[in-house]
Copies of this chain bind each other. A is one copy, B any other.
Amino acid sequence: MRDRLTIIKVGGNVVEEEASLKSLLKDFSRIAGNKILVHGGGKTANILSEKLGLESKKVDGRRITDAETLKIVTMVYAGLVNKNIVAGLQALGNNAIGLTGADLDLIRAAKRPVGDVDYGFVGDIKAVNYQALNELLASGAIPVVAPITHDGHGQLLNTNADTIASELAVAMCFDYEVQLIFCFEKSGVLMNETDDNSKINEITPVLFEQLKHEGIVSGGMIPKLSDGFAALKRGVGVVVITNPAGISEGLRGTRLVLK
């Protein structure tokens, strides 16, 4: 039987507010076995951009990354957010190591071709160095991955953290029984976004289409669910969307299922 690997993507308010981050890291540190944390940091990046007089733009939940924005997200994601998470996990006895896709050539990406929209320095993932991740996990290290990749020619690129989590899950599911958890501030995908009790327990691809059509699922939740379904189709065992409480309480939340 393959070992279990838990990949948790944290974003939204969870990772960027000190109190909720602390609580998340405690829950994360209690997860037994192999684990990887993938994080965002968009809100902090937006605040820094504003302070510096830059505008941040998004289309369909995906950030548009000009040269200045790339600097900002590299600083915030790979620097501030990543290293505070690493130091926080170390304090809890978890041997965390912070990584971007450039480190150990972990995630190689290609700059997204300019189509209807020019996303700028945004990277679409081409290859995951699963051997390097395997070696780190085997040594007892806990990778903490910031959503920055590289093209192998010296260019850093901004890549959606949900997509990174999904691609890592797919790359690792040859060697591990992978469960992929998208963790944010709500209890799951909600029928009514202001009511945390309106959680949908299970979503199939058919229901996903319907929820999109009805506008119940929108914005950043669309690529998150698309990435989740893609991961399931490519061999990932479990995909769940939940909040930190949902992780510590036996993985409650919204489960994605293929049928």
Contacts and interface: CB of A to CB of B under 8 A. Distances in A.
Contacts of A148: 83
B78 A71 contact: no
B78 A74 contact: no
A95 B104 contact: yes
A90 B51 contact: no
B154 A91 contact: yes
Interface string A59-89: 0000000000001001111111011101110
Interface string A182-210: 00000000000000000000000000000
Contact of A90 (B139, B141, B154): B154
- The interface residues of chain A, by DSSP majority, are classed as helix
Contacts of A224: none
Interface in A1-16: none
Contact of A97 (B71, B77, B78, B104): B104
Interface string A123-142: 00000000000010001010
A153 to B, nearest CB: 5
A80 B76 CA distance: 9
A154 B78 CA distance: 17
Contacts of A37: none
A27 interface: no
Contacts of A83: 74, 78, 100, 102-103, 148, 156
B75 A102 contact: no
B75 A156 contact: no
A152 interface: yes
A155 interface: yes
Contacts of A141: 104
A83 B102 CA distance: 7
Q: Which of A79, A135, A155 has the most CB of B within 10 A?
A: A79
A171 B32 CA distance: 32
Interface of A: 48, 51-52, 71, 74-80, 82-84, 86-88, 90-91, 95-100, 102-105, 135, 139, 141, 148, 150, 152-156
The 10 A-B residue pairs with the shortest CB-CB distance, nearest first, are A79-B79, A75-B75, A91-B154, A75-B79, A87-B102, A78-B79, A87-B150, A97-B103, A86-B102, A88-B154
